[in-house]
Amino acid sequence: MPPTIQSPHNPQLKHLAKLLSASKHRREHQQAVLEGTHLLSAYLDAGNTPEHVYIPEYRQMQPEIRALIFRLPEHQYTIVSNNLLKKISSLNDADDIMTLIALPQTRQPENSDCIVLERVQDAGNVGTVLRSAAASGIKTIILSEGCADAYSPKVLRAGMGAHFLLHIHERVNLTEWRSHYPHRVLATALTEHNNFSLYDLDLRQPSAWIFGNEGAGISAETLAHASASVKIPMLGATESLNIAMAATICLFEQMRQRL
């Protein structure tokens, strides 16, 4: 039988709680926590091996959980009793499976199609962009300083498993990155010069898409390094779109042209 945790003072649970609540703790230990069966399943489907899995005692015999347990060596999971996982969960009134994972090793960003997020702070937006990137065939994600932590619980939930299909680079100096990136850089911002409608551009060549902060947009410094600025044509009185929605439109237009 796998071991059982019965005390709220268990050091493993304390470690999980800190990983869920503090990005500093995640960076220090190079670990994160996946909450729920869907994220664990997606993690396993992508060929990854978790460091450890924690299962609420009352759920261990449920078919969904049994199917996941079957995919794990016995030493890789622990049963947790007394609603203890519920007490540390980032979700309201949730008592779900938790998975401890190692953060992917960082490497140099690939010189291929990519998405660059500059100071995008809303976790839901970051996660949704990651999901749209994976769905449209983009593998490389560049996050500047000031972006939401890619492995925070909210971003992981919004990404719905997209993280495990991507190469995510965090806290990147965009000026340095741009000096090494050999392809066209498209900025979703209105400027006085070099403006193009999304539907007038040939998007079949490798490109980097830059999307900026929800309120301030793309900084002047970053915009100065862009090859062109792109606008999404809109009817009606709406001035702008949510960043995740705008990114999705651009990425799927690029995918449409390439198909």
**135, 247: one domain:** yes
**124, 222: one domain:** yes
CA-CA distances (angstroms) from residue 241 to 122, 146, 203? 14, 21, 21
**124, 13: one domain:** no
- List the domain range (segments joined by +) for residue 82: 4-102
Residue 199 lies in a domain: yes
User: What's the pLDDT band for 240 if we cut at 50, 70, 90?
Assistant: confident
The answer to whether residues 115 and 144 touch, using CB atoms and an 8 Å cutoff, is: no
Domain total of the chain: 2
**175, 210: one domain:** yes
**83, 175: one domain:** no
3-class secondary structure per residue, 149-177 = CCCCHHHHHHHCCHHHHCEEEEEECHHHH
- Domain stop point among 80, 102, 124: 102
**234, 208: one domain:** yes
Q: What is the pLDDT of residue 236?
A: 73
Q: For the segment 33-77, what is each residue's pLDDT rounded down to a tens digit?
A: 999 999 999 999 999 999 999 999 988 899 999 999 999 987 899
Residue 152 lies in a domain: yes
Residue 49 lies in a domain: yes
**241, 175: one domain:** yes
Q: For the segment 157-198, what is each residue's pLDDT rounded down to a tens digit?
A: 999 999 999 999 999 999 999 999 999 999 987 666 668 999
**26, 125: one domain:** no
- Domain stop point among 60, 82, 102: 102
Q: What is the pLDDT of residue 92?
A: 73
Q: For the segment 81-105, what is each residue's pLDDT rounded down to a tens digit?
A: 878 999 998 877 677 899 999 999 8
Residue 248 lies in a domain: yes
Q: What is the pLDDT of residue 74?
A: 78
- Domain stop point among 43, 76, 102: 102
Residue 107 lies in a domain: no
Residue 169 lies in a domain: yes
The answer to whether residues 250 and 232 touch, using CB atoms and an 8 Å cutoff, is: yes
Residue 108 lies in a domain: no
**175, 222: one domain:** yes
The answer to whether residues 101 and 32 touch, using CB atoms and an 8 Å cutoff, is: yes
**159, 250: one domain:** yes
The answer to whether residues 255 and 136 touch, using CB atoms and an 8 Å cutoff, is: yes
Structure tokens at 161: 């498993």
**CATH number of the domain that 74 lies in?**
3.30.1330.30
DSSP code per residue over 104-117: PPP-PPPSSSEEEE
Q: For the segment 191-225, what is each residue's pLDDT rounded down to a tens digit?
A: 666 689 999 999 999 999 999 998 888 999 999 88
Residue 109 lies in a domain: no
**83, 13: one domain:** yes
**CATH number of the domain that 216 lies in?**
3.40.1280.10
**220, 132: one domain:** yes
The answer to whether residues 212 and 218 touch, using CB atoms and an 8 Å cutoff, is: yes
